């Protein structure tokens, strides 16, 4: 297992290098000039002296390659520069927003971990039963309803009409209920369908029939053969979904006024705050890379064949 972990970690290095080049290059390809954007945001006159001052401050007078290595060196020291609009350290802004987004994503993951096995297992236990019908209808609605529509509906019902849940901010644990559920619903629907289909397929597998023929108890067959083999693709997908939860909060955070990365990047794009946008791209890429690593390690833990490198 240790060799497998080291191999997966070493594979991250070239990926991070490519991501850093993309994040740096995308900002340089945007049509608006960084110097002009900074001067407009800080109400500076477009004089030659001010332009030279801004270029000197951000190193924009240097060759692009030199700018890239200077930026990477700063990033390695967790220095993402200053925001054009607020003049705050981008690292501080990102960290504060990331904590809020991670808390929301954690609450959404809790919904996923609790509801997915419950709905998936009970649905697969008795196919075409009432629980299976309810679960399939739930999954259909979860995948069909857009996240922002669900968010506005929940605000209208539980916040405005019933007045039992707060509709914005993150002052208490009750503020987490609506945005986290709205964020998790589409994921739950996908995972439940995946788990149900895998379990129904594994029920017909040769290993299950052989275990039944040997007289092994039904509960043992279910846990060791059906459920364990069915969980592998779900565990792998859930791990990858960590990155999707973090990156997918943009709509939900704006609907529920949640002070996280979604609101931060929306404001940064509207204000053309390039240092914030550049740091956000890099951060989300790192989150996805780490999420994929977690998914690979979870899969290797569940299925020893992966970490042992079994072929064929």
The secondary structure of 118-130 as a DSSP string is HHHHHHHHSTTSH
What sign does the CA torsion over 186, 191, 192, 193 have?
positive
Alpha helices in 145-273 (DSSP H): 147-154, 177-203, 206-213, 218-221, 228-247, 249-255, 261-271
Q: Tens of pLDDT along the chain (312 residues)?
A: 677 667 777 778 888 888 888 888 877 776 667 777 778 777 788 888 888 888 787 777 788 888 888 888 988 888 888 888 888 899 999 999 999 999 999 999 999 989 988 898 888 888 888 888 899 999 999 988 888 899 999 999 999 999 999 988 888 899 999 999 999 999 999 889 888 888 888 777 777 777 767 777 777 777 777 777 777 777 777 767 777 888 888 889 999 999 999 989 988 888 888 889 889 988 988 888 888 787 777 766 666 655 555 443
d(CA 243, CA 231): 20
Q: 176 and 223 in one domain?
A: yes
Q: Is residue 134 part of a domain?
A: yes
Q: 155 and 125 in one domain?
A: yes
Q: 182 and 53 in one domain?
A: no
Residues near 266 by beta carbon (within 8 Å), at least 6 away in sequence: 250, 254
Q: Is residue 10 part of a domain?
A: yes
pTM: 0.80
Q: Is residue 81 part of a domain?
A: no
Q: 168 and 48 in one domain?
A: no
Q: 67 and 118 in one domain?
A: no
Q: 242 and 112 in one domain?
A: yes
Q: Is residue 85 part of a domain?
A: no
Domain tally, the chain: 2
Q: 241 and 176 in one domain?
A: yes
Q: 107 and 139 in one domain?
A: yes
Q: 49 and 140 in one domain?
A: no
User: Largest Cα–Cα distance in the chain?
Assistant: 87
Q: 128 and 29 in one domain?
A: no
Q: Is residue 7 part of a domain?
A: yes
The CATH number of whichever domain residue 215 belongs to comes to: 1.10.3720.10
The range of the structural domain enclosing residue 25 comes to 2-76
Q: 171 and 71 in one domain?
A: no
């Amino acid at each position: 297992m240790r060799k497998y972990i080291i191999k997966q970690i070493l594979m991250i290095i070239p990926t991070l290098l490519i991501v850093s080049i993309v994040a740096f290059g995308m900002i340089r390809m945007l049509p608006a000039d960084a110097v002009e954007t900074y001067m407009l945001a800080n109400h500076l006159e477009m004089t030659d002296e001010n332009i030279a001052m801004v270029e000197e401050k951000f190193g924009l007078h240097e060759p692009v390659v030199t700018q890239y290595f200077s930026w990477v060196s700063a990033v390695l020291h967790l220095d993402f520069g200053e925001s054009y609009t607020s003049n705050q350290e981008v690292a501080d802004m990102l960290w504060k927003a990331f904590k809020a987004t991670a808390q929301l994503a954690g609450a959404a993951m809790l919904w996923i971990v609790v509801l997915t096995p419950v709905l998936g297992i009970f649905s697969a236990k008795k196919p075409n039963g009432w629980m299976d019908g309810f679960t399939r209808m739930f999954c259909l609605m979860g995948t069909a309803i857009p996240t922002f529509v669900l968010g506005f509906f929940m605000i209208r019902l539980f916040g405005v009409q019933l007045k039992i849940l707060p509709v914005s901010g993150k002052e208490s644990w009750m503020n987490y209920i609506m945005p986290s559920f709205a964020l998790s619903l589409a994921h739950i629907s996908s995972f439940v369908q995946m788990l149900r289909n895998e379990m129904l397929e594994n029920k017909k597998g040769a290993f299950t029939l052989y275990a039944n023929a040997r007289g092994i108890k039904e509960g043992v067959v279910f846990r060791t053969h059906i459920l364990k083999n069915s969980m592998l693709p779900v565990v792998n997908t859930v791990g990858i979904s960590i990155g999707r939860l973090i990156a997918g909060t943009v709509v939900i955070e704006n609907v529920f006024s949640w002070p996280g990365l979604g609101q931060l990047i929306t404001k940064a794009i509207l204000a053309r705050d390039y240092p914030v946008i550049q740091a956000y791209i890099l951060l989300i890429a790192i989150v996805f890379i780490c999420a994929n690593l977690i998914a690979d390690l979870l899969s290797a833990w569940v299925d020893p064949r992966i970490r042992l490198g079994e072929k064929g």
